[in-house]
């Protein structure tokens, strides 16, 4: 499904009007139904919605392993129905429109990442390579300026990437794809085009990703949370520079 559509518009530039056609991002609503109960409606880009739904359920604590899922129905790409093998208590969860923030039903249970005997180590050159690759392949953003990008990398390459009108959605798509492919996230790096907010940091921690890398800035709350949970935060990664905010043991200095 396309996530952009052409629209004719008028442009005012240097004192003159002109008519041209431009691409605009499409905004849709994804309905997630869990065990027959409508859980949430998410404003999103109408593509890769299975990944988004699964990533959302993971990030909000409804799923823990692929074995939890009995079936996924996506006959309508904007309505994903997930059935789990065991019952999930949804009595305290009301339907809501979600544009970015999660429900936070498990935020209080977040624990520091397990101690690593030998932490995965990323070279500065590799971090700059993969973040520049994320930027270079952000084709929808280049067309429209209206989406965020997120990706997953290891210490060899950028594994995959997703785009969405919501930066939280783009992250959930990455997490969902990794879950569906049963990829071990304990040595991976989450890449972002936008700001590292505390909510995104919590999604990263909940899914066991030890390093988060962004072209933009982290918030103070995100960095403080990362220090408590043991995540490495790298921001303002552009061109040939970046800022390392905390947990430096996963970055090479040689």
User: Are 131 and 78 found together in one domain?
Assistant: no
- Is the Cβ–Cβ distance between 22 and 76 less than 8 Å? no
160 in any annotated domain: yes
Contact of 3 with 52, CB cutoff 8 Å: no
State the pLDDT confidence band at 132, using cuts at 50, 70 and 90: very high
Same domain, 59 and 174: no
Domain harbouring 87, CATH code: 3.10.20.10
Q: Decide if 205 is inside a domain.
A: yes
DSSP-assigned states of every residue in 46-94? SSSHHHHHHHHHHHTTS--SGGGEEEEEEEETTEEEEEESS----TT--
Tallying the residues shown for the chain, one arrives at 254
174 and 238 share one domain:
yes
Q: Are residues 85 and 131 in the same domain?
A: no
- Percentage, residues of the chain above pLDDT 90: 83
Spatial distance between the Cα atoms of 161 and 134, rounded to a whole number of angstroms:
7
Cβ-based burial of 135 (10 A; exposed 0-12, middle 13-18, buried ≥19): middle
Which stretches of the chain are DSSP H helices? 49-59, 124-136, 139-144, 167-180, 198-206, 220-229
Could you tell me the CA-to-CA distances from 92 to 39, 79, 84 in Å, in that order? 11, 22, 18
- Say if residue 146 is in the same domain as residue 95: no
Whether residues 244 and 138 fall in one domain: yes
Q: Residue 119's pLDDT is what?
A: 83
pLDDT digit string, tens, across residues 6-17: 999 999 999 999
Q: What is the pLDDT of residue 93?
A: 65
CATH number, domain of 229, equals 3.40.140.10
Q: Which of 150, 69, 153, 67 lies closest to 53 in space, CA to CA? A: 69
- Banded model confidence at residue 95, pLDDT cuts 50, 70, 90: low
Number of structural domains (the chain) is 2
HSE-up of residue 23 (Cα within 13 Å, Cβ side): 13
Q: Would you say residue 53 lies in a domain?
A: yes
In this prediction, residue 254 carries a pLDDT of: 80
Return the closest-CA partner of residue 3 out of 49, 41, 54, 42: 49
Binned at pLDDT 50, 70 and 90, residue 1 comes out as confident
Q: Which tens digit of pLDDT belongs to each residue from 158-212? A: 999 999 999 999 999 999 999 999 999 999 999 999 999 999 999 999 999 999 9
Residue 129 structural domain = 124-250
Q: In terms of domains, do 78 and 192 share one?
A: no
Cα distance between residue 145 and residue 253, in whole Å: 35
Residue 106 is predicted with a pLDDT of: 47
**241 and 134 both lie in a single domain:** yes
Same domain, 150 and 227: yes
SS3 26: coil
Residue 242: inside a domain: yes
Residue 104 confidence (pLDDT) above 50 = no
- Mark whether 227 and 186 lie in a shared domain: yes
Domain end: 72, 105, 138, which one? 105
**Is there a domain that residue 92 lies in?**
yes
- 167 found inside a domain: yes
Kindly report the average pLDDT of the chain as a whole number: 92
What whole-number distance in Å separates Cα of residue 162 and Cα of residue 57?
17
Q: Identify the residue whose tokens are 């997490």.
A: 175
Confidence of residue 94 (pLDDT cuts 50, 70, 90): low
Over residues 76-103, the mean pLDDT reads: 76
pLDDT band at 98 (very low <50, low <70, confident <90, very high): low
Residue 149 has pLDDT above 90, yes or no: yes
Which of these three, 75, 105, 135, is where a domain ends? 105
- Same domain membership, residue 230 and residue 155: yes
State residue 29's pLDDT score: 97
- Is 100 domain-assigned? yes
pLDDT for 150 equals 98
Residues 67 and 142 in one domain: no
- Looking at residue 97, what is its pLDDT? 56
Share of the chain above pLDDT 70, in %: 93
Q: ∠ at Cα 170 (129, 103), nearest 5°?
A: 135
């Amino acid at each position: 499904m396309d996530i952009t559509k052409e629209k004719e518009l008028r442009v005012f530039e240097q004192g003159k009007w002109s008519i041209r056609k431009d691409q605009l991002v499409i905004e849709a609503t994804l309905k997630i139904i869990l065990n027959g109960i409508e859980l949430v409606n998410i404003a999103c880009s109408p593509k890769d919605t299975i990944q988004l739904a699964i990533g959302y359920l993971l990030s909000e604590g409804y799923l823990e392993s692929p074995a939890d899922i009995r079936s996924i129905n996506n006959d309508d790409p904007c309505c994903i129905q997930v059935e789990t093998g065991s019952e999930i208590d949804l009595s305290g969860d009301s339907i809501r429109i979600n544009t970015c923030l999660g429900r936070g039903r498990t935020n209080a249970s977040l624990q520091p990442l397990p101690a690593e005997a030998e932490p995965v180590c990323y070279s500065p050159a590799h971090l700059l390579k993969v973040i520049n690759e994320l930027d270079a392949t952000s084709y929808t953003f280049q067309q429209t300026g209206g989406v965020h990008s997120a990706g997953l990398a290891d210490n060899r390459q950028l594994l995959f990437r997703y785009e969405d009108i919501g930066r939280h959605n783009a992250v959930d798509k990455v997490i969902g794809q990794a879950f569906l492919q049963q990829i071990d996230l304990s040595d991976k790096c989450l890449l972002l085009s936008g700001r590292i907010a505390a909510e995104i940091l919590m999604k990263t921690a909940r899914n066991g990703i030890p390093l988060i890398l962004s072209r933009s800035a982290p918030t103070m709350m995100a960095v403080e949370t990362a220090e408590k949970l043991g995540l490495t935060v790298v921001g303002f990664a552009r061109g040939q520079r970046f800022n390392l905010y905390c947990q430096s043991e996963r970055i090479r200095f040689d």
